[in-house]
C-alpha cells in the first residue's frame, strides 16, 4: 500500500480535496486528529507500508482502499499502536507515538481512537447495554448510573435504544455493528478507526452503518475506514477523480 490508496475524502460537512496525500507542515493544527508521515512497515523483508503520508482531520471521513493483503489492517494497527511501524512518524492530536512513551501516556493517546472491527467482537454473554457500558465502568471507573445514562444516549444515537436488554445473537449484522460503534463511542474518542466495518454485512445492511459513520463526522469526529476492493477494480479506478467526491 502507498499513499495513492488513501482516498480522501468523503468529507463531511465540507469537502477537502487531496489532503490525504500531501500533508501540509502544520503539526499544531488543532483540527488534525491523525497524521502519518513517511510511514513504512516491513514484516521481515516484506515491505507492506511504503512511505505513507496522510492526515485525518476533525469532521472528515477518509477511506483506505486496497486489495486484500495490501496493508489496510496493518496501517490501522500501527495508528492504534497495536503494531510498531518500522519507520516514519505518527501523531495523534499532535502527540507523537514513539517507543519511549510510558504505558500510561500511550494508553491516554490510544483512548482518543475508538476501534470498530469487521466481525463486531461483541461479548455474547452480555446484553447490548452491558456491552456498551463495560469500558466506561471498568476503564473509566464511571459510576453505574452515569454509565447507563451514557449507554442509553449512545444506543439512541445509533438507533438501537429498544434493543438495550437483548443479547447480540438476536441482532442483525448491521445492528451488531451499530452496537460496536456505540461501544467504541462510550470511551469518547476523537476518532473512530474502522477495519472493514461493512465487509461482513449483507448489502442491504451496509447503508445503516455508513449513515452512522457519516453522523460521527458531522458531530466533529475524525473517521478513518478501510475497505477491501478487488485488484481488478482498483486498476481501473481513477483515483484523482474519486478525490472530488
Ligand atoms: N503479524 C504479521 N506478521 C507477518 N506478516 C504479516 C503480519 N500481519 C500482516 N502481515 C502481512 O502483511 C500484509 C498486509 O496484511 P494486512 O494489513 O492484513 O492486509 P489487508 O488488511 O489490506 O488485507 C499481508 O501480506 C500479510 O500477510
Ligand atoms: Mg484487513
pLDDT digits (tens, 9 = 90+) for 182-199: 999 999 999 999 999 998
Percent of the chain with pLDDT over 70: 82
Confidence at residue 110, expressed as pLDDT on a 0 to 100 scale: 87
| Range of weakest confidence among 102-116, 118-132, 228-242 | 228-242
Cβ–Cβ under 8 Å, residues 51 and 3: yes
86 alpha carbon – ligand 1 mean position (Å): 14
78 alpha carbon – ligand 1 mean position (Å): 12
Helix (H) or strand (E) holding 233: helix 231-235
The C-alpha angle with vertex 173 and arms to 79 and 115, in degrees rounded to 5, equals 15
Q: Which residues surround ligand 2, an ion (CB under 5 A)?
A: 72-73
Ligand 1 atom, smallest distance to 68 CA: 23
Nearest Cα residue to atom 9 of ligand 1: 74
Cβ–Cβ under 8 Å, residues 91 and 170: no
- Alpha helix positions (H), 80-199: 103-110, 128-138, 144-157, 173-185
Cβ–Cβ under 8 Å, residues 92 and 33: yes
Nearest Cα residue to atom 7 of ligand 1: 43
Burial of 153 (0-12, 13-18, 19+ CB in 10 A): middle
Confidence at residue 188, expressed as pLDDT on a 0 to 100 scale: 92
- DSSP 8-state symbol, 97: P
| Range of weakest confidence among 34-43, 157-166, 202-211 | 202-211
74 alpha carbon – ligand 1 mean position (Å): 6
Nearest Cα residue to atom 27 of ligand 1: 69
Residue that wins the pLDDT comparison between 20 and 124? 124
87 alpha carbon – ligand 1 mean position (Å): 17
What does the pLDDT look like over 202-223, one tens digit per residue? 899 899 899 999 899 999 999 9
For residue 158, how far is the Cα from the chain centroid?
16
Nearest Cα residue to atom 8 of ligand 1: 74
| Residue 66 CB less than 6 A away from ligand 1 | yes
| Residue 77 CB less than 6 A away from ligand 1 | no
Residue 107 has φ and ψ, to the nearest 5°, of: -70, -30
Nearest to 126 by CA among 48, 180, 86: 180
Length of the chain in residues, anyone? Answer: 245
Mean pLDDT estimate for the chain:
84
Nearest Cα residue to atom 3 of ligand 1: 43
| Residue 41 CB less than 6 A away from ligand 1 | no
Confidence at residue 238, expressed as pLDDT on a 0 to 100 scale: 56
Nearest to 196 by CA among 131, 121, 132: 121
The C-alpha angle with vertex 203 and arms to 198 and 209, in degrees rounded to 5, equals 40
Pocket test for ligand 1, best of 1, 43, 117 (most atoms within 8 A of CB): 43
Helix (H) or strand (E) holding 188: none
Confidence at residue 30, expressed as pLDDT on a 0 to 100 scale: 81
SS3 state at 239: helix
Amino acid at each position: 500500500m502507498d499513499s495513492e490508496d488513501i482516498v480522501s475524502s468523503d468529507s463531511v460537512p465540507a469537502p477537502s480535496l487531496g489532503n490525504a496525500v500531501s500533508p501540509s507542515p502544520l503539526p499544531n493544527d488543532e483540527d488534525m486528529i491523525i497524521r502519518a508521515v513517511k510511514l513504512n512497515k516491513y514484516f521481515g523483508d516484506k515491505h507492506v507500508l511504503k512511505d505513507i503520508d496522510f492526515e485525518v482531520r476533525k469532521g472528515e471521513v477518509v477511506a483506505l482502499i486496497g486489495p486484500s493483503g495490501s496493508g489496510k489492517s496493518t496501517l490501522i494497527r500501527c495508528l492504534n499502536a497495536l503494531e510498531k511501524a518500522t519507520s516514519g512518524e505518527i501523531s495523534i492530536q499532535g502527540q507523537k507515538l514513539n517507543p519511549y512513551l510510558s504505558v500510561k501516556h500511550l494508553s491516554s493517546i490510544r483512548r482518543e481512537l475508538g476501534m470498530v472491527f469487521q466481525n463486531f467482537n461483541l461479548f455474547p454473554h452480555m446484553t447490548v447495554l452491558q456491552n456498551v457500558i463495560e469500558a466506561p465502568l471498568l476503564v473509566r471507573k464511571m459510576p453505574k448510573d452515569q454509565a447507563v445514562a451514557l449507554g442509553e444516549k449512545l444506543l439512541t444515537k445509533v438507533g438501537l435504544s429498544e434493543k438495550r436488554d437483548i443479547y447480540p445473537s438476536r441482532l442483525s449484522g448491521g445492528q451488531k455493528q451499530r452496537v460496536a460503534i456505540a461501544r467504541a463511542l462510550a470511551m469518547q474518542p476523537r476518532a473512530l478507526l474502522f477495519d472493514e466495518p461493512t465487509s461482513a454485512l449483507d448489502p442491504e445492511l451496509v447503508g445503516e452503518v455508513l449513515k452512522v459513520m457519516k453522523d460521527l463526522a458531522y458531530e466533529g469526529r475524525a473517521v478513518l475506514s478501510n475497505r477491501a476492493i478487488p485488484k481488478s477494480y482498483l486498476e481501473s479506478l481513477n483515483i484523482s477523480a474519486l478525490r472530488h467526491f
